[in-house]
Amino acid sequence: MMRKFRDLVDDLELKELYMHGQSFTWSNERDTPMLTKIDRVLVSVDWELHYPDNLLQALSTNISDHALLHLSTCAHFCLKRKFRIEMFWTKLEGFLDAVKEAWVCDASITDPFRRLDALLRNTATYLQAGAQRKVGNIKLMIVVANYVILKLVRAQELRQLSSEELWLRRMLKMNVLGLASLEHTIARQRSRLRWLKEGGANTKLF
């Protein structure tokens, strides 16, 4: 019977819906519990295309040892901002070492697709955090640097600046130039991504 069931699943090209909330649907509820997933929802590709906003959740077990499955076909998702690597990240010192360090995932994940997904998610999170630590908020740093430069310029009207203050003003101006160039590079890359997303007339080709 199990072989016939597998053949039916293969013939109909059914796929399992991802279950949100927890990874098991049954427990023997002992002090050292046995947790297994014995309840699943299988759908066809056509069904999934017809209901793209589906959401499968495991609910409370209530008085039973089975978790109820709740399938919604019109769930509204609040999508997270997509991860995009900034080109200047590759030029930061230790970028390749950071990627090697982040390219790890739980050994219990054996499915190759889930494993690749976990590796990419871990690397994206690690790179974003590392870039934030090394670079920080570019716009905020430019504003702060300009504010300090303005204070030094106003102080120069009343007195002569010390050698340390002159050095600070010179370094801040250099940093503002570098940060402005970096901001321009990021804006140029994002504008190209927007152009690719929205498309262009491409009159040279046609």
Task: Quick: pLDDT tens for 187-196.
Answer: 776 666 555 5
What radius of gyration, in Å, describes the C-alpha atoms of the chain? 27
Cα dist from 134 to 107, 144, 172, whole Å: 30, 17, 17
DSSP track, 141-171? HHHHHHHHHHHHHHHHTTSPPPHHHHHHHHH
Phi, psi (rounded to 5 degrees) for 27: -145, 145
Decide if pLDDT at 82 tops 80. no
Cα dist from 172 to 12, 29, 136, 157, whole Å: 66, 63, 16, 19
Nearby residues of 14 by Cβ (< 8 Å), 6 or more positions away: 42, 43, 44
pTM over 0.85: no
> pLDDT tens across 111-141, in order?
888 888 888 888 888 777 776 666 667 778 8
Per-residue pLDDT, 199: 52
* Inter-residue contact 54 to 71 (CB < 8 Å): yes
Banded model confidence at residue 42, pLDDT cuts 50, 70, 90: very high
> pLDDT tens across 84-110, in order?
677 767 777 777 888 888 888 888 888
Spatial distance between the Cα atoms of 185 and 87, rounded to a whole number of angstroms: 8
Which helix (H) or strand (E) segment holds residue 56: the answer is strand 55-58
Decide if pLDDT at 206 tops 50. no
> pLDDT tens across 142-194, in order?
888 888 888 888 888 888 888 888 898 889 888 888 888 777 776 776 666 55
Closest C-alpha among 41, 46, 45, 78 to residue 56: 41
Spatial distance between the Cα atoms of 102 and 97, rounded to a whole number of angstroms: 9
